[in-house]
Structures are given as C-alpha cells and as structure tokens.
Structure 1
C-alpha cells in the first residue's frame, strides 16, 4: 500500500487494507464476503475528490477499481464506449480521439480521475453547459450491490423507456448504494479544429453577454467558458510567469473561451468578430486570441493549475456552488460582503464554469478553519442557495465533508426518500459508510 498515492486526502487509506479486484465477478466475491461478515467497504477510483468521499478508517476495507482499466468496446458507428470503472478520463479521451470522437466531458484531473469515480460523483467539468454532466453521458452501467448481487443494465442506446431507469440511483450516489464496475458512455464527434481566446471584462454581466455572443456563433460552437476573477488569475499568472502586452490582469474578471469548428482560421476570425461586438458595449475590455498550440496551453494552464492555490495556502478551504446565471452577480456581491464582515481580509479566489453557473470559491486561508469561522463562512455561502434555485454542491459531491450542508439545505421530503432508498439497497450501511447520508443512530 505504501506504493499507492493516497491522492487528495491523507485519510483515504485509513483502513489499512486495500483489495484490488480485476473483474466484476471478483468485486462481487469481495462484497459478498464483506456482507456476510458485516465489514464496511469504501470504493475508490482516482482519489481526486475534494469532499472526503474516499476516506476510510480501521475496520473497513478499501476496494480499489484501479485494475479494472480496460476499454472493452469503442464503436465509431454507434459513437459508444463500454469501459471498466478504473479507466481514466485521459485514457478514454485518447482512445476516442483515434476514432475522431470525444467523451463530451472534460476536467483538469483527467489524468487520474476514473470514469467510475466520475459517474459515482456525477462529475461536470468545462463542457457541462453544452453536453450535460456525467448523468447525461451514461447510457448504461453495471454495479455490485451490498449483498454481492450484480445489477446489470449495459444498454447501448439512447432511447429506452423499459420501466424504471435505475442506473440513475448509482450516478452521484458516491458508492453508497453499490459499486459501479462497468459503464456505457455516449461519445461525440471531435471538432476538426479548435481555438482559444481570453477576454478581460469589467463585470459578470459583460462576461455573460460575451458567452451569449459565443453561443450564437455561426462559425463554430462554444466548447468552454471559464471565468477567472482577478485574484485567481493574478496568482496563477504570477506563478507561471505569464503576461501579454496589452492584456490587463487588473480587469475584474477574465473569460477563457474555446470554440470548435471546421477551420482554425475561421474560428480565430470569429473571436475577433465577437471581441469587436464586446468592445462596442464594454470599451474598457481587453482580449487575446491564442495564435499557437503553446499559447493555447499556456492560457488553459492559468485556469487548470489549481494546485497553486493549495501551495500558497495549504489545505485552503474550498467550496463548489451552482448559481442560476441571472443570480451570479448579486450572489458574488453578497458573498464578498459577507466574508468581509467575518474578517476584513477574508478575500476568496473565484473561478469556475460560468456558462452553467458553477463557481469554485477557495479562501485565502490555510485550513482547516476554526469551527466558528467555518460555520460563518458556510452561512454566507449557503443562506439563500436553495431559495434562488442553486446548489451547495455543483460537481464535487457530498462525501463526508458536506453531509451537514446537505441536511441544512435539502428538501426534507427528498432527504426522507434518499434514506428509504439507502435502507432498501444497503440496510447494513456497509457501502461507503459515513458518506452522503449519516448512518442511523
């Protein structure tokens, strides 16, 4: 076990024992043995989660899906992939690219995040506004239940109205209802060309208007729209030594955009057209269009290298919310004012997937926070989140870290229904205990 990276949380291997089955049958065998002896199981994928969904303790067994890393089928005609749960996103992306396809979902942890883990947490990423989250990419799946039986629904078609669509119980359940072992994913055609631009803008409203212009593009389709507030981009740009003449990093918000289409030249021209329209409404804006693959990678590194935050502020408290687009400006203003009332220099780093309203908020503090401060911060973040139609967890899940947030913000009837499902599928509470829902007293 010493040779295995514990990932983002040092307590992932608290159980002290890891089993690594190589097939669904072996997973079922392990689960069956654990069920007979009432031994709790903690399933693990790439261990890139940020909410303690893979932490374990003595008396439990960690079940790693790392050996189950085969791409069983990748059909360019069906545009479908059948994969084992341990396949990484990067491996699937590479295999799909050989056929001119892509999974339709992307995120910065692509090299270590596994498809099984992404399904279990209903991962989102930069393309969710266009292609949906993981729930919308899954056609079918296979999972081992708490008694060792195997739920198998490896449907490879989009249209399926044959009774209850039970696969959705396991998507986003974080391994608390069963262990996902195989997945059927739909794939999309990869555009022949892409282009990247970054605009410096005066307001959130300006950024949303720019996104609207890009969504209406006739030359290509919008693939990503990532917002980087000033404090975040100044930190990452400084760490990477990035600067560009004429591009002002003191703009309140920067918007990183990607277009896909038939010809790179046409996409770059389209960015120039969009920027001209932006300047008509917001003349103080600045912009840059990547002129090479290196420049494109440099721009995306400013967004994706979030490790810089945690090197600057070790164990910095981080939060992951979804806010309706029309509410983002007011929400951010309320949060900044609320944080300032807690501590005058409490200034968060803000970035995220602006086209779908997903904001990542990382505090300029070394963690963990004092209990009273943490409670005050969450009160500011979550006070109105349900009332405005948002969510306290956009794509990171609940895990063990956000159970209290779920209990505080969810509809009571929803919580009751979740508990009923949990009792029906895992009455012993042996599947990833202490995650998503609290065990009964």
Structure 2
C-alpha cells in the first residue's frame, strides 16, 4: 500500500468509521454491477450521512484525490467506472427515508434509498413514485437523479427531472448545496438543482432529495399484442390513449428477435411469443373502481382485431401470467446467452421515425456483418429504443463502425444518442463527435466553474 493511501485511509476511517471503509480485496470482492471497471479503485468509503459525505469530499480534495460516486451500480454507460487511484464514494449506507408528506404527496430520502424502497413506503399512503424501471430493486435515488432515469412511465409522468422538487448535493470542495424545497411553486431565481440532475456526479454528489409522488395505480389488465407492423401498433396506441390515457400504465414494444430470445431463456414463456408477428406490444391499464378495465381493454382489442390491426393477443388471466408477460419484456440479460460478446445502446427518436429507423438499422447490420444478432425493444410512446447486439466474434474492436451505424441516422430525424442511460465513459466520445459544439463548450464551462480540477467523477460526460 502506498504511503499516501495509508494516510488517506486513516483519515477516511476517522470520518466514516471502520465499517465505512473498504480497501483492496475488500473492494474487489463486491459485485461490480454492470461495468467491469466499477470496482477498479483501491479504496471505497461509505459515509452514513451528508455531514460525513462533505467531510470525505473535503479530505480527498485536500489530498488531491478524485472521487467516483456510486449507488446501485445498475448503470449501463460506465458512469460509475473507477481507476486504481480514485476513491469510490458508495452512498448505499445513506439509505434513510427522512419524511413522507401525504398531503403534499412528497417524500424526502437520502441518496442510497432504492426505487423499490420508495414505493414500499409510498404505498402505505396510497402513493407511488412516477418513475419505474426494471432495475427497481437495486437502482438508488442518487443514481436515478444523476442519470435522469426515464423508465416505463416517462410518457405519463416525465423523467426523473420532473419528479425532483428539492435537492441536496456536496460540491467538489466539500461545500453542501442545500435546496431541499418541497414546494410545487417556487420561483425564486435560477433553479440550480437542475444542474445536478443528469450530470452523473460530475458537478456534485447528490446526498438527499425531495421527490414528487403520484396517486398509486394498480394494474387492472395486462396484454401482449402481436402485430404485423409498427403502423398498426401506433394506431392501437392512439385508440388506447384516447380511451384510457389517465389509466394507461405502459406501452412497451418488442421486435420479434428480442421476444424470441427472452422466450428461449425461459421455458415457462413458450406460449407467449407470436411466431409470425414481426413485433409485439406489452400494454397495461390501471384499475378504476367505476369501470371494468379488463373488459374495456378486451373490447378495444376486439375492435382492433376486426379492423385488421391486431394479428393475435393474450390478455393476462392471472397474476402469474401478468408476471410472465413482464418477464418477456424485462429480462434483457437473456441477450448475454446469444453470443460471447455483447454491446448495448439506448437512443431516442420522434415516434413517427421509429419504424423506418429500425428497418434501416436491420438492413445496415445485415450488410455490415450478418453474424451479429440485433435485438430491439423499447418504450414506444416516448420513442426510446434499446438496441442490443450479440456475436461470437469480438465487437469492441469494431465499436466505431457499429456506433456509426446506430448514431449517424439520428440527426436527420431529430434523435438523440442517449435517451435515459446517460453518457458516462461509453458514450463520451460519441457525444463529442455528434453533439452540438456550442452546447458542449457551455457544459465544459459549467463543469470548470463547479469543479475546475475535475476531481468529481473524472473522465465522464465532458472534459
């Protein structure tokens, strides 16, 4: 162990206690999550509250050590990746629900609280958080805010940015920025908390937040629809939106190769995939005391079938069948069984452009290398596609060419190279290549203002 490491470890232990510091193999033995370099650092410190977090940042700043904040390690772009000389700041011990206000429909939580824990607390008050995603059991508030997570219900409630009323963050010098405002209306100057939302810990480490809640909605009916094309899917969505917008919980789209991939990984899903349908939709509507929503959904789908929009459908008849339909959508890890090498991308497009983009993408990969398996699924109503590749030959050595196939068509249709996953290290070069130069320059200037030495999450988002 280097002498400066020993000095720093002693100081960090004094701040966070022995239970709050891990070194060397104690770090390596932890689960690294979705990026192999997440635990590359030699030192991890886990403060228990904002005061300890501020002291940790001050200590590391004094010794010139860079910090990498980490939550549930469910991110997919390497925003939590660390280097040996970094100090990991794990926020998992900061997992206290500070307050829940039924009347204002808000919850105040520390950064290490998971999405599942928020909803468990909120449901006791008949409320829930407006953001939902497959990694709900591990994703933490600090990560959701730092990545501006989207998820399944962004078309209803917006992304995480729209759910944050107040925020507390520790700046690069250890100063605590406090704006734990719980008011819906507060027009008192610049909304500075927005700087930290989506910044991936490069401007400050989120320590606490006040979040907006919404009335809880229980699923009343869930269906899997088989479609001939996306045109038909968009017409069905239009009808669903017109008839049940306030009760529409999810509209997820799965192209056939993705659905078959997940089906093959789970024997219990054998009867859930429509073999002759190029794509499927998962739709879910909420319970309503005044309406039989299951019957309403079935009536709407019968009409779509009569009009030739729907090839086939399954309406869940039990809780088990509903869980299986959602497993078909959410087990994207099944792609890992399709080849020795995988890549994952996350893009956004205007909804009318989705069909042409996917068709062109499929053709482009057939021409580029037909052995690469392409899997596409996503959130239909907000135009967010997840693109996963699998192959038995290495993909990273062809990353630039693959990236170009996926990203270059986006500009012509007003798309974005990251919809909800963020930038991290994986998309940093692409952002520099395809991003607007003036916007990137302003982002760099803001970072220089708040962290001139680049000690907070170095190497991420923008230099």
Structure 1 length normalisation: TM-score? 0.95
Q: Which residue in 2 is equivalent to 1:389?
A: 414
Counterpart of 1:376 (choices 401, 412, 418) is 401
Which has the larger displacement, 80-89 or 301-310?
Answer: 301-310
State the Cα distance separating 1:60 from its structure 2 match.
Answer: 0.8
Q: Which residue in 1 is equivalent to 2:453?
A: 428
Q: Which structure dedicates a bigger proportion of its chain to helix?
A: 2
Q: Which residue in 1 is equivalent to 2:20?
A: none
Distance 1:297 1:380, change over 3 A: same
Structure 1 residues 86-137: Cα deviation after superposition (integer angstroms, max 9, x where no partner):
0000111111111111101100001111011010000000000111010011
1:264-279 aligned within 5 A: 266-279=292-305
Structure 1 residues 302-352: Cα deviation after superposition (integer angstroms, max 9, x where no partner):
111111112333451010000100111111111111111111233311111
Q: Is the 8 A contact 1:193 1:264 kept in 2?
A: no
Counterpart of 1:342 (choices 368, 392, 397) is 368
Counterpart of 2:431 (choices 391, 406, 411) is 406
Counterpart of 2:231 (choices 197, 201, 205) is 205
1:229-240 aligned within 5 A: 229-240=255-266
State the Cα distance separating 1:364 from its structure 2 match.
Answer: 2.5
What SS is found at the alignment partner of 2:390?
coil
**Cα distance in structure 2, aligned partners of 1:166 and 1:31:** 20
- Aligned pairs, number: 437
Distance 1:231 1:426, change over 3 A: same
What SS is found at the alignment partner of 2:285?
strand
**Cα distance in structure 1, aligned partners of 2:378 and 2:55:** 41
User: Does 1:257 pair with 2:283?
Assistant: yes
- Structure 2 gap ranges (5+): 1-25
Which has the larger displacement, 204-213 or 43-52?
Answer: 204-213
- Structure 1 gap ranges (5+): none
Structure 2 length normalisation: TM-score? 0.91
User: Does 1:318 pair with 2:318?
Assistant: no
**Cα distance in structure 2, aligned partners of 1:144 and 1:357:** 34
User: Does 1:36 pair with 2:36?
Assistant: no
Distance 1:50 1:96, change over 3 A: same
Q: Which residue in 2 is equivalent to 1:103?
A: 129
Distance 1:27 1:246, change over 3 A: closer
What SS is found at the alignment partner of 2:34?
coil
**Cα distance in structure 2, aligned partners of 1:321 and 1:246:** 27
Structure 1 residues 126-178: Cα deviation after superposition (integer angstroms, max 9, x where no partner):
00011101001111100000010010001101212110001111000000000
Q: Is the 8 A contact 1:229 1:350 kept in 2?
A: yes
RMSD: 1.8
Structure 1 residues 45-92: Cα deviation after superposition (integer angstroms, max 9, x where no partner):
000111111111111100000000001011111100000000000111
Distance 1:222 1:284, change over 3 A: closer
1:3-152 aligned within 5 A: 3-152=29-178
Q: Is the 8 A contact 1:230 1:252 kept in 2?
A: yes
